[in-house]
Structure 1
């Protein structure tokens, strides 16, 4: 789903080896990106508006190239420079992976994350996992995606997520929201179900979708469960689920958060029903 490009020599730089500095720097040395620079860009809200660090540091310069200059190839090399300089390594690593994904260098991004995450702070590991999951999804490496998701599910069941807290602040569609452990578990189960769906393990996918829905109502998961049921030839159940989703929207337009899933499921339902009609007609003429 999600391409790789391992021939890096033509790009003018290679994946560097992990730097010799130690991760104790994260707690004893102020990151370069936190040291203010004196420039016209510090006047007003330039760095706030453009979401770039107000500093002249390796990481700050890389973000400027990424977001202001919009030069992704140059940004990748500058994020590498930030990593080697020990400047906000976890942020540089995540941002670089995002840019690499945009450049269809997904496998290279995965290798970088797996190689350098050991020198990142403990608190950043969960977000690094989330980036890896998206990269695995993009590159079709479903087995590795499932492995991380299963580990995240174990952590949620053991109560070790959120640093022992019951809720955490997350972002959804650009907005900050507070989510509970149960909601996080439902999200992980939904992602696991989708991964198993890609592997055609429909029975396991159904179990995960139903468990996720028991924890939190979610129309996107209902639509995907309907697709799963159609793959198992349980058409009437799938149709009933989709009717419930449609009815819940009433006369209002469907929310974008599940509209694509609903349309995909309805398209599949139309195809299945059309095939069924043709099969009946073929039997009748025989």
Structure 2
């Protein structure tokens, strides 16, 4: 970023802290004037979210994203996902996350490269295809959990862990298993966290949550009168479909993978 650009953006950042509503008005002015629309639209949506105007922010992003560059579209998708979370729009969130997964597996999101540069809290870092796939699957699993669809969430978290396992997703997977009264499997997941086998297991937040899940598990076990389900489930079929996708996945090609057509019906059924 040039010195001139930094100086031109400084008043916006100062105004956001001092008078968010005035900052939103300036962002609107910049968008209408075609002045750095990429950053203006994204920043305006973020400020609107902070001002409890998330619904309005969603409409703004949808209406004006066609004025933004191709490079800004993925970032705007991430903004939309956060806005959908804020508004409790689970269906829209799920649909967009599926679309992002589809773009990755078609080689579009990474421009057929093995890594891409990501940005978080002002710093840049490299992200691999597997890491990004796991992150999006984790978000998709969380969205299913918000709907109480623990079968779908479990299937997605299992696949996310196969790409890039960590303690946070393991905790969510454990909760999905507890909700399905599959206590032995849940205990195994908790043990992996408490024994430090997963990335992030040593973080206090992860360990505390694992301990909470262990207490919840013990309470459920002592009061449960139900046996664990058995047999082939919709989740099994969904996981099998994801496994086929993984085996056929070649992110460096631009061809459309037919396996996604096979997975879509499972995703739609699981979302019901």
- Same-fold status (TM-score > 0.5): yes
Counterpart of 2:229 in structure 1 is: none
Counterpart of 2:110 in structure 1 is: 162
Counterpart of 1:196 in structure 2 is: 144
Counterpart of 2:215 in structure 1 is: 270
Gap regions ≥5 residues in structure 1: 1-32, 37-51, 281-286
Gap regions ≥5 residues in structure 2: 226-272
The whole-number CA distance in structure 2 between the counterparts of 1:218 and 1:269 is 18
RCO greater where, 1 or 2, for CA within 8 Å and sep 6 or more? 2
Alignment length (residue pairs): 224
Is 1:64 the counterpart of 2:9? The answer is: no
CA-based RMSD: 2.6
- TM-score normalised by structure 1 residue count: 0.71
Q: Deviations over 1:7-32 (max 9, x none)?
A: xxxxxxxxxxxxxxxxxxxxxxxxxx
Q: Deviations over 1:159-185 (max 9, x none)?
A: 111223221122356543211111111
The whole-number CA distance in structure 1 between the counterparts of 2:190 and 2:223 is 23
The whole-number CA distance in structure 2 between the counterparts of 1:220 and 1:125 is 28
* Residues 64 and 82 of structure 1: CA distance in aligned 2, closer, same or farther (over 3 Å): farther
Counterpart of 2:59 in structure 1 is: 111
- TM-score normalised by structure 2 residue count: 0.74
Equivalences for residues 1-286 of structure 1 within 5 A: 36=4, 53-55=6-8, 61-67=11-17, 70-172=18-120, 175-248=123-196, 254-255=202-203, 259=205, 262-264=207-209, 266-274=211-219, 276-277=221-222
Asked if structure 2 preserves the Cα contact closer than 8 Å seen for 1:227 and 1:265, the reply is: no
